Amino acid sequence: DQQVKQNSPSLSVQEGRISILNCDYTNSMFDYFLWYKKYPAEGPTFLISISSIKDKNEDGRFTVFLNKSAKHLSLHIVPSQPGDSAVYFCAASNTNAGKSTFGDGTTLTVKP
Amino acid sequence: DGGITQSPKYLFRKEGQNVTLSCEQNLNHDAMYWYRQDPGQGLRLIYYSQIVNDFQKGDIAEGYSVSREKKESFPLTVTSAQKNPTAFYLCASSGAGGQPQHFGDGTRLSIL
């Protein structure tokens, strides 16, 4: 049973527009959520996170929203740039357990 | 420069052989992790360690073994019992409590 799901394998947007990447989870014990970005042949890099006590966290062009009742989080990138083209992974953890569960990723393509 | 180093970048294994993948970090992180990524899929946790001389199985530990004798090092051995070892292997480290993970650039293992 997959506890973290990213239902859209791919997303294509025009440069300058908003990119919205979605993630759903099933385990109500998760209390910390993260987004990672991955380029081909490299390891993922941490992008932004949110604690379950918040519903929004913003860092520059990146904002993560958390809807606990729906067990849903989303990553907004505004404005999107061609350099944002990468695979984005959603991850969830319970801070007491110390490990994260990853989704399958969404490949974002930003067209110039 | 602080970081996490995986070696080698590419590794080939003959049928029936054990191989060991190296992972070293100089970030002074307590926790270290090994993941496997198959094409089109997310990161699946093999083993993780939250402290020296202690480690736990992840979701897909069968056919793998690890050791954590030093804080800086967390080598992964892919044994002959792993029937489908061809994959991209990623090592990561983090501070305690599910903090964001720092990843190496991975090792791609192939079977000859």
Q: Smallest CA–CA separation between A103 and chain B, in Å?
A: 6
Among residues B59, B61, B37, B57, the alpha carbon closest in space to that of B49 is found at B57
A27 touches chain B (CB under 8 A): no
A100 touches chain B (CB under 8 A): yes
Q: Check residue B40 and give its pLDDT.
A: 80
Q: What percent of chain B shows pLDDT beyond 70?
A: 97
Q: Check residue A108 and give its pLDDT.
A: 98
| pLDDT band per the 50, 70, 90 thresholds, residue B39 | confident
Q: What percent of chain A shows pLDDT beyond 90?
A: 90
A106 touches chain B (CB under 8 A): no
Q: Check residue A28 and give its pLDDT.
A: 94
A43 and B40 in contact by Cβ < 8 A?
Answer: no
Q: What number is the average pLDDT over the span A83-110?
A: 93
Q: What is the dihedral of CA A62, A80, A4, A99, to 10 degrees?
A: -50
A105 and B42 in contact by Cβ < 8 A?
Answer: yes
Nearest to B100 among A41, A46, A101 (CB): A46
B95 touches chain A (CB under 8 A): no
Statement: residue A82 has pLDDT above 80: yes
Q: Check residue B1 and give its pLDDT.
A: 60
Statement: residue B70 has pLDDT above 70: yes
Whether omega for the bond prior to residue A79 falls within 30 degrees of 0, making it cis, is: yes
Structure tokens at B104: 């190496």
Distance of CA A76 to the CA centre of its chain: 9
Among residues A98, A46, A44, the alpha carbon closest in space to that of B6 is found at A44
Q: Check residue B9 and give its pLDDT.
A: 93
Q: Which residue has the tokens 């941490």?
A: A46
Segments of chain A assigned E as strands = 4-5, 10-14, 19-25, 32-38, 45-51, 56-59, 62-67, 72-77, 86-93, 100-102, 106-111
Q: Smallest CA–CA separation between A60 and chain B, in Å?
A: 18
Whether omega for the bond prior to residue A9 falls within 30 degrees of 0, making it cis, is: no
Statement: residue B26 has pLDDT above 80: yes
| pLDDT band per the 50, 70, 90 thresholds, residue A50 | very high
Q: Smallest CA–CA separation between A107 and chain B, in Å?
A: 10
A64 touches chain B (CB under 8 A): no
Statement: residue A11 has pLDDT above 90: yes
Q: Check residue A1 and give its pLDDT.
A: 72
Q: Check residue A61 and give its pLDDT.
A: 98
| pLDDT band per the 50, 70, 90 thresholds, residue A47 | very high
Q: Check residue B80 and give its pLDDT.
A: 87
Q: Check residue B45 and give its pLDDT.
A: 95
Q: What number is the average pLDDT over the span B7-12?
A: 92
A34 touches chain B (CB under 8 A): yes
Nearest to B97 among A45, A95, A103 (CB): A95
Q: What percent of chain A shows pLDDT beyond 70?
A: 100
